[in-house]
Amino acid sequence: MTVPNHVEIIEVGMRDGLQMETDFVDTAIKIALIDGLTDAGIQHIEATSFVSPRAVPQLADAAQVLAGAKRPPGSRFAVLAPNIKGVEGAIAAHADEIVVFLSASESHNQKNLNRSIERSMHDVAEIAAHVQETPILKKGAIACAFGCPFEGNINPETLLKIATHFRSLGFQALTLGDTTGMATPPLVSQTVSMLREHLPDVRLTLHFHNTRGIGLVNVVAGLNAGVDSFESSLGGLGGCPFAPGASGNICTEDLVYLMHEMGIQTGIDLEKLIQVSLRMESVLGRTLAGQVMKAGPRLRLHSYQNAACATG
Amino acid sequence: MTVPNHVEIIEVGMRDGLQMETDFVDTAIKIALIDGLTDAGIQHIEATSFVSPRAVPQLADAAQVLAGAKRPPGSRFAVLAPNIKGVEGAIAAHADEIVVFLSASESHNQKNLNRSIERSMHDVAEIAAHVQETPILKKGAIACAFGCPFEGNINPETLLKIATHFRSLGFQALTLGDTTGMATPPLVSQTVSMLREHLPDVRLTLHFHNTRGIGLVNVVAGLNAGVDSFESSLGGLGGCPFAPGASGNICTEDLVYLMHEMGIQTGIDLEKLIQVSLRMESVLGRTLAGQVMKAGPRLRLHSYQNAACATG
């Protein structure tokens, strides 16, 4: 299998990242950050979440964010929509795509959504029926697709059953979420091969976390398995509720840098993207996990005159 | 090319990491950390540096460290030795191996060693002659092998010339140092292929930095090119003098975790190694860059009862 020569990078920091922040980021700042992302050439953005503002107060301004952000031609704004109420909010706000989650792990689904996988699959069917007459795109997202922090390994049959359910309901795309960073290169290869064999017409996206430092290695395993769509977060925004101090989502700039250095196109301007991540860092007032935003691309050279060196 | 089923991991944190620390780490603590590393199964350790104590005061206790650390059967203790005086110190302290550096970049060599590459090559020849009658092993280390922060890309002919010089002087092994994190997967493949073609009997070690977040991706590129020897630093200790806040060496626990998950043996006990890195963190009083030391191996499960969850 040859590696794709173009990949789609879906920015999830505005949703998956910001939802974990303690402080509310002003709506105008969110809009400016999203405008910065589209200006840098990111077309596909998971922009916010239509969930209960009590559950996720950080994203209570979902409708205003969608109304305020520029929508350049070719852009696609996705939003999380966990139930019919969320879906209605998404439609009213002219979201291009809804993302509907469930977990491949029974205990994680119970903890996260307060219901069984079976019950969640029923909910997904209701949502699909509800949007059937609308042009909104549907993406299924399977959390803990590569492992569960409570249960360990995931039964491939459970994963396939959920993926098949999404497909049968007309979901065009499917994200495999590595919610707590348990994916490994062999697991990625096996999982992608299995799903491609049984569901060849589903567009697969991989969503890795860098919790154990190997997020970008898993991206390369995904590329080698033929996947050309990845989710990541500006600056590596986001974290892991199970491992204090550990990284969350893989970082968009680092991913873009790697793709470009491997000769794979993304349509994204890395220098502009770095500026957006630096702005996010200054908004949040703390250092983010991203590396390229600190070091710059490899040929951003340094002045010989003032440099200090240490052998190594 | 098949990926090797066993790799050698050389721990460089005690030298390449500690030399960048502001505070001196007590000799007894250094010895305890090294004993922890060998107890975790790390056989090959770059333990210290026989350089001027004025230049690198952090490693002024090189002889005492080598005298105090346990030397289990099969272990190999390497030390940096930049000149004849350093080599004599290394021999007197019964080091198993000397590591002699020079840079593939003229300006970096000038900045780092205060002389031209040509002059450094002459120095290397003197060192080789000096140790000819001793059983000490010789390793050549080429800094900036994948790029220079002042000059950018490295001329492959310069790299080959230096490597050939080391080989002709009887150096059994060669480390390619990615001093400021400029290696990329295609560069790694090209460079390794070139050196293997021209110098098939040199044992190659790759030394990557995670400055741009892709250190472990480069390791996989090295594996795919047939390399089975890598240097790394416990907890990711070390940094980059050119990019404040950026990561330095790739992290040993993360590397060991990745190798094991890829089915590649290292002979290292990951749980024991994590304990040594946590001890290093507590000695230095700050958080290190390593991820697996925070999150644990993937099947270290969490209690369902007290967990908080966030969709994603």
Residue A100: inside a domain: yes
Q: What is the CATH number of the domain that holds A54?
A: 3.20.20.70
Candidates A144, A240, A251, A309; catalytic one: A240
Per-residue model confidence as pLDDT tens digits over A108-160? 999 889 999 999 999 999 999 999 999 999 999 999 999 999 999 999 999 99
Phi-psi region of A170 (alpha: psi -120 to 50; beta: other; left: phi over 0): left
Q: What tokens appear for B220 in the block?
A: 């996989």
Find the residue in B nearest to A56 (Cα): B310
Q: For residue A309, what pLDDT band results from cuts at 50, 70 and 90?
A: low
Quick check: B88 and B132 in contact, CB under 8 A?
no
Residue in B182, B262, B299 closest to A152 by CB: B299
Integer-rounded Cα Rg, in Å, for chain B is: 19
Q: A119: Cβ–Cβ under 8 A, 6 or more apart, which residues? A: none
Residue A59: inside a domain: yes
Residue A310: inside a domain: no
Residue A113: inside a domain: yes
Is residue B151 over pLDDT 70?
yes
CA A267 to chain B, closest CA, distance in angstroms equals 20
Return the percentage of chain B with pLDDT > 70, whole number.
97
A305 phi and psi angles, rounded to 5 deg: -55, -50
> What is the number of structural domains in chain B?
1
Is residue B250 over pLDDT 90?
yes
Residue A124: inside a domain: yes
CA A60 to chain B, closest CA, distance in angstroms equals 16
Q: Does B258 contact A at CB distance below 8 Å?
A: yes
Please judge whether B309 and A112 are an interchain contact, meaning their C-beta atoms are less than 8 angstroms apart: yes
Residue tagged 């009887």 (tokens):
B170
Please give, one letter per residue, the 3-state secondary structure of B178-236.
CCCCCCCHHHHHHHHHHHHHHCCCCEEEEECECCCCCHHHHHHHHHHCCCCEEEEEHHH
Per-residue model confidence as pLDDT tens digits over A81-120? 999 999 999 999 999 999 999 999 999 999 889 999 999 9
Report, as an integer, the average pLDDT of A302-309. 71
In the prediction, which pLDDT does B312 show? 47
Please judge whether A294 and B245 are an interchain contact, meaning their C-beta atoms are less than 8 angstroms apart: yes
Please judge whether B298 and A147 are an interchain contact, meaning their C-beta atoms are less than 8 angstroms apart: yes
Report, as an integer, the average pLDDT of B139-150. 96
In the prediction, which pLDDT does A210 show? 96
Residue A249: inside a domain: yes
Q: 101-130 in B: which are within 8 Å (CB) of A? A: 101, 107-108, 111-113
Report, as an integer, the average pLDDT of B190-198. 97
Residue in B19, B186, B254 closest to A263 by CB: B186
Name the DSSP class of A24: P
Report, as an integer, the average pLDDT of B183-202. 97
A45 phi and psi angles, rounded to 5 deg: -130, 125
In the prediction, which pLDDT does B306 show? 67
Report, as an integer, the average pLDDT of A201-206. 96
Report, as an integer, the average pLDDT of A272-301. 95
A vs B: CB pairs below 8 A:
203
Residue in B177, B242, B302 closest to A149 by CB: B302
The whole-chain average pLDDT of chain A stands at: 94
Catalytically active residues of B are 240
Find the residue in A nearest to B152 (Cα): A299
Q: Does A22 contact B at CB distance below 8 Å?
A: no
Per-residue model confidence as pLDDT tens digits over A218-227? 999 999 999 9
Residue A305: inside a domain: no
Name the DSSP class of B48: E
Please judge whether B301 and A243 are an interchain contact, meaning their C-beta atoms are less than 8 angstroms apart: no
Q: Which residue segment(s) compose the domain that B87 sits in?
A: 8-295
CA A241 to chain B, closest CA, distance in angstroms equals 7
Residue B267: inside a domain: yes
Residues in chain B with CB shorter than 8 Å from the CB of A22 are none
Q: What tokens appear for B279 in the block?
A: 């001890």
Q: For residue A247, what pLDDT band results from cuts at 50, 70 and 90?
A: confident
Quick check: A276 and A234 in contact, CB under 8 A?
yes
Please judge whether B294 and A245 are an interchain contact, meaning their C-beta atoms are less than 8 angstroms apart: yes
